[in-house]
Amino acid sequence: MIGYSVEKEYQGMIDAYERAGGDKSALQSRDVAKLVIHENRVLSADSVKGLKIETKETETGVNVNFIIEEGAKIPRPVHLCFGILPKEGLQEIVMKVDAQDNSEVHVIAHCIFPKAVKVIHKMDADIEIGNNAKFDYKETHYHGEFGGIEVIPKARVKVGKGGVWQSTFALSQGLVGKLDYDFEVTCQEKAVAELIVKAYGKGSDDIKIWEKIYLNGTGARGLAKSRLVLSDKAKAEVRGETYGNAPHARGHVDCIELVNGTEAVARAIPIVSVTDGKAKVTHEAAIGSIDRKQIETLMARGLDEDEAVDVIVRGILR
Amino acid sequence: MLVVEKLRLALNGKPIINDLSLHVEKGEIHGILGENGTGKTTIAYLIMGANNYKPTAGRIIFQGQDIADLSVSQRAKKGITLAWQEPARVEGLTVRDYLTLSGNHRKINQIERYLWMVGMEPGQYLDRDIDATLSGGERKRIELASVLAMHPKLAILDEPDSGIDIVSLPLILNGIVEMNRQGSSVLLITHSERVAEIAHRVSILCAGNIIRTGAPSETSQWFKNNCLTCPHINEPTDEIK
């Protein structure tokens, strides 16, 4: 139950959540698991059968335990909404996830900082995916137009035998500010990991992406995929690392960075390593301007050049 | 509708198009038949304004206006479009989005009709990206459907048959005829006499110039007898000149 004193704050978060593309009705529904955190205050934390959300407020953020019980298949997506509405603030989320054996959940997270001028948002997560469990995590950020934000999401994910971890991190609305993304996944036998990052850097945005996948079990599979578009004076460095350490492990690193303009700077550092003769890891990285033929194809259908570029950018970040 | 007068283009000092003149009538399918390297794609780019090609000399008149200085978008807005020989692939752009923007946001049932016209079942394709997951032939047919959706006054089709399997070719040719029926003039660029047969008139291209124009059957036969056996690659012999 939300107390009267935080009702306005909660409404502010819901409104911002909707503006960032979130499903407002999901946050208002009683039968949907959700967690809403503004700064270091938990405004709403609702569990459902098979899924427990435990929280503890700290001086600078919130510690969260997220438990999906063994065999539980959570039928509706779980919604997370984290943010800071004022111009300044610090939010540190420390998260422990325990997706027990044979469980299944889909989590949709929105991180909202619409007026950020001097904001730091940190997430530090330890995630355990049990045997044959499936965890699908989609995180979308909205940062407003001031660029005064530092986002530092870090996660260490362990995926058990036959388990699946899929995550998508998207930051394409507003200015990124400074992003330091660091996800590391370790896969056991026949486990699957997919890490996808999509970001649109503008202004003086500074983006660092570091994706690491360790394929330690026989037949484990991993994909580290990143799609970045940079304009103005934005800069980005993407490190995609995949290690094939077991027989029949298969991994792929796939990075595309598009540079729109003359002052943006993009770097890609793919690292692929194999320590088992029966493992195979591949990579592809492409950095460059938006393909002229793509632009002209759309212009030949009547779009102006700027409209054509916009369609291509939206496509690659979709 | 389209008049090209004494067009020239040189790239890095090398002449590619040499005093080429051509006219396409309203409602006409006009075939350009030529072997590899004769300048077929270059003509397409020059008329569309693609690839930063600008004529070294000559004029490109569309509906009475010289369009040589217009951008690709401006030419498209006047009703000209181009289907590339190797269409671009755009990650994240669905067939539905591509045809919708090509058709100036026509309704979905109309969009679906254009896919049927090129032998593609909408349910299987509308939500797919026009990316590397499509085969070359599928991408070509989608390109033709996007031109159909646009209802252009002049469609330039650069080798619409290349990469198309023998089963799909009649669908492509029917699509072009249908495009013409719905009011578009077509500049049909090809190296295939079979494809050129659907044109009303055919011009033969050699070394960046039109060396003969006439009815499809007669011109195609002449092409077969003279061009396919010609040892002077891209160098018309004196008698042909």
The reply to whether residue A302 touches residue B150, judged by beta carbons under 8 angstroms, is: yes
Convert the pLDDT of each residue in B147-172 to its tens digit: 999 999 999 999 999 888 888 889 89
Domain ranges within chain A, ordered by starting residue: 4-289
B129, closest residue in chain A (CA to CA): A315
Would the pTM count as exceeding 0.90? Answer: no
Convert the pLDDT of each residue in B102-154 to its tens digit: 988 777 888 999 999 998 999 999 999 999 899 988 999 999 999 999 999 99
CB-CB neighbors (< 8 A) of A303 in chain B: 73, 76, 101
Asked whether the predicted pLDDT for residue A2 surpasses 80, the reply is: no
Point out the least confidently predicted range of A15-29, A53-67, B201-215: A15-29
| % residues pLDDT > 70 (chain A) | 98
Q: Is B82 on the interface with A (CB under 8 A)?
A: yes
Q: Is B105 on the interface with A (CB under 8 A)?
A: no
Within a 10 A sphere around the Cβ of B14, how many other Cβ atoms? Answer: 7
Average pLDDT over residues B23-36: 95
Which residues have a Cβ under 8 Å from the Cβ of B73 and sit 6 or more positions away?
Answer: A299, A302, A303, A304, A305, A308
Asked whether the predicted pLDDT for residue A41 surpasses 50, the reply is: yes
Convert the pLDDT of each residue in A262-272 to its tens digit: 899 999 999 99
Q: Which residue is listed with tokens 């009267």?
A: A4
Nearest to B48 among A291, A300, A315 (CB): A300
What is the rounded distance in angstroms from the CA atom of residue A302 to the CA atom of residue B102? 7
Strands (E), chain B: 2-11, 14-24, 29-34, 57-62, 65-66, 80-83, 90-94, 129-130, 154-158, 185-190, 201-206, 209-214
Mutate which of B70, B89, B90 to disrupt the A interface (most A C-beta within 10 Å)? B90
Average pLDDT over residues B193-208: 94
The reported pLDDT for the residue numbered A221 is 98
For residue A296, give how far its alpha carbon lies from the nearest alpha carbon of chain B (Å).
Answer: 7
Asked whether the predicted pLDDT for residue B14 surpasses 70, the reply is: yes
CB-CB neighbors (< 8 A) of A305 in chain B: 71, 73
The reply to whether residue B150 touches residue A301, judged by beta carbons under 8 angstroms, is: yes
Asked whether the predicted pLDDT for residue B233 surpasses 80, the reply is: no
- Give the pLDDT band of residue A164 (cuts 50, 70, 90): very high
The packing angle between helices B108-117 and B95-102, to 10°, is: 100
Beta bridge partners of A64: A55, A95
For residue B219, give how far its alpha carbon lies from the nearest alpha carbon of chain A (Å).
Answer: 30
First to last CA, chain A: 36
Average pLDDT over residues A155-159: 98
Asked whether the predicted pLDDT for residue B238 surpasses 80, the reply is: no
Mean confidence (pLDDT) of chain A: 93
| % residues pLDDT > 90 (chain A) | 83
The reported pLDDT for the residue numbered A1 is 43
Asked whether the predicted pLDDT for residue B236 surpasses 80, the reply is: no
- Give the pLDDT band of residue A172 (cuts 50, 70, 90): confident
Amino acid present at A207? I
The reply to whether residue B72 touches residue A292, judged by beta carbons under 8 angstroms, is: no
Asked whether the predicted pLDDT for residue A24 surpasses 90, the reply is: no
The reply to whether residue B150 touches residue A256, judged by beta carbons under 8 angstroms, is: no
Number of inter-chain CB pairs under 8 A, A vs B? 69
For residue B92, give how far its alpha carbon lies from the nearest alpha carbon of chain A (Å).
Answer: 4
B86, closest residue in chain A (CA to CA): A293
- Give the pLDDT band of residue B240 (cuts 50, 70, 90): low
Mutate which of B70, B72, B147 to disrupt the A interface (most A C-beta within 10 Å)? B72
DSSP string, B106-162: --HHHHHHHHHHTT--HHHHTTSEESTTS-HHHHHHHHHHHHHHH--SEEEEESTTT
Question: What domains are defined for chain B?
Answer: 2-227 (3.40.50.300)
Helix (H) or strand (E) holding A308: helix A305-317
Convert the pLDDT of each residue in A271-315 to its tens digit: 999 999 999 999 998 899 899 999 999 999 999 999 999 999 999
